Structure 1
Amino acid sequence: MRHVLFRSLLVGPVAVCAFAGGRAAASPDELPEALYGEWSVASADGPGAEAVQQAPSLRVRFDSDATGFRVAVSGGCNGMGGSGALHGDELGFRPLISTMMACSPPLMAADEFVAKVLEGPARFEMRADALVLRTGERALRLARKPEDGGADAEPA
């Protein structure tokens, strides 16, 4: 009886951790180092994209995490953050947390657009100093912040 209980205590959590969202979770790939750092939101495409132009100080930051990466969004109405993992060419985001402040409708709409892109999984493309995230019919183009890889940075 003790052996059965001990085995279930060991196997149970492993089985739960290996299963996510109704499908088996693959081991995450390592996020390319070029993605880490702070990005400013340069443009957006898709339903609601016009609101992003009303929030010119929107920023997205990626940092390393023991299980993948962390993401933080600031500069709109509410701060958002969460974690995720890379699987192939897709960034899988876990549910974001967010402050719940009320702001002008354009800032709230900009937050909503970014949150929908980061609901993931989002395909990503690196282009020089730009990062493009695509989810369904929405796309977010991010530009590297100068202090995180601008003119003073060493070539890769």
Structure 2
Amino acid sequence: MKRTLILSLPLALLAACSQNPAPAGNADDLAPAPAAAAAQKTAAHLDVQRLHGQHWRLKDATGADGKRIDALFVRADKPVTLDFSEGRVSVSNACNGMSGGYTVADGNLVLSQLASTRMACEPSIMALDEAVGSRLQGTLKTELADNGELTLRTAQGEVLVFAPEPTAETRFGGPGERVFLEVAAQTKPCPHPLIKDKQCLQVREVQFDDQGLKQGEPGGFENFYDNIEGYTHEAGTRNVLRVNRFKVANPPADASSQAYVLDMVVESAVEK
């Protein structure tokens, strides 16, 4: 049976004219209050470039009562993740993919209502979509800590803490090449000087046009000695993967000069 997945503005300086002289006093008298200074520091820290180039993995979430929000952690091995790019934020590792627009205003994150795909999952994971979407909307008070963690505070007093993880583009120093790889259902033995009885994925490259239609005839399957980051193969399942291929600068002598990172599974089919 075949399963197919269809897939700031800078603040202007206001010049005010006044006939009255400035009040006398020393510099300390004119310095901003501690709370105002902290707010200025937070606003200065939160900028678009700080948000880009990282996957933001949900690390902790507590309600106004200080208790952990368990509904946001039903996928312990795949934490809810935010990615920011060109005025859009996307949410992954829920049931459905979600995305929406965002801006930064007065040092805070302002999110539009998130749009979502409509794929069915088991109930607890479907409920995760609502748990995420209901919190990631409107204006969220925002802090970036010295250790890089991003904290979002909702109007209801909930606190969400995200840890940064560099994206592949950040790690490899630039954008990758988008390619499609078909992975056969079964692995096969392949020679390797360091690994006895190594099994290799059987992979071939496939081509798609702008409408998503396959083009031409793919070649034969070949041993694939590299890893595909983010992909776990299940024996008996054939997959077509959309991956980003990166050049690795100065790889070790026994390592590949290319790195592959999974973007999405385009097509999946169980073969008996």
Q: Same fold (TM over 0.5)?
A: yes
Does 1:50 find its partner at 2:70? yes
AA paired with 2:59?
Answer: A
Matched, 1:139 2:159: yes
2:56 matches 1:39: yes
- Alpha-carbon distance in structure 1 between the residues aligned to 2:172 and 2:49: 17
Q: For the pair shown, which has the larger CA radius of gyration, 1 or 2? A: 2
String of CA shifts for 1:69-110, please: whole Å, max 9, x gaps.
Answer: 210001110100011111112211122110122222322232
Considering only aligned residues, what root-mean-square deviation do their CA atoms show, in Å? 2.8
> Secondary structure at the residue paired with 2:95?
coil
Distance change in 2, residues 1:116/1:150 (3 Å): same
* Structure 1 partner of 2:234: none
Q: Which residue of 1 aligns with 2:115?
A: 97
Distance apart, 1:112 and its partner CA: 1.7
1:80 and 2:98 aligned: yes
- Distance (whole Å) between structure 2 residues aligned to residue 83 and residue 77 of structure 1: 20
The separation in 2 between residues aligned to 1:62 and 1:118, in whole angstroms, is 13
Listed as ranges, the gaps of 5+ residues in structure 1 are 1-26
> Which residue is 2:82 aligned to?
60
The 2-side partners of 1:117 and 1:110 are apart by 11
Check the 8 A contact 2:113/2:138 in 1, yes or no. Answer: no
Partner-residue secondary structure (3-state), 1:112 = helix
Q: Name the CA distance, whole Å, in 2 between partners of 1:28 and 1:134.
A: 23
Amino acid across the alignment from 1:143: A
Report if aligned partners of 1:39, 1:60 keep a CA contact under 8 Å in 2.
yes
1:54 CA displacement: 1.1
> Greater shift after overlay, 69-78 or 102-111?
102-111
Separation in 2, partners of 1:150, 1:28: 25
Q: 2:133 matched to 1:115?
A: yes
Matched position secondary structure for 1:145:
strand
CA shift digits 1:41-89 (9 cap, x unpaired)? 11211288201121231211011x2xxx210001110100011111112
Q: RCO higher in 1 or 2 (8 Å CA, sep ≥ 6)?
A: 1
In structure 2, do the counterparts of structure 1 residues 73 and 89 end up closer, same or farther at CA, with 3 Å as the change threshold?
Answer: same
Look up the SS of the partner of 1:107 in the other structure.
helix
Between 46-55 and 119-128, the greater mean CA deviation after superposition: 46-55
Q: Matches of 1:149 and 1:89 in 2, distance apart?
A: 26
Total equivalences in the alignment? 123
Q: How far, CA to CA, are the matches of 2:153 and 2:164 in structure 1?
A: 17
Give secondary structure in 2 for the equivalent of 1:100.
Answer: coil
Q: Which runs of 5+ in 2 are unaligned?
A: 1-7, 11-45, 174-272
Greater displacement, 136-145 / 80-89: 136-145
* Cα deviation code 1:105-155 (max 9, x no counterpart): 3222322222122112111111122101111232221111144799999xx
Q: Counterparts of 1:14-29 in structure 2 under 5 Å?
A: 28=9
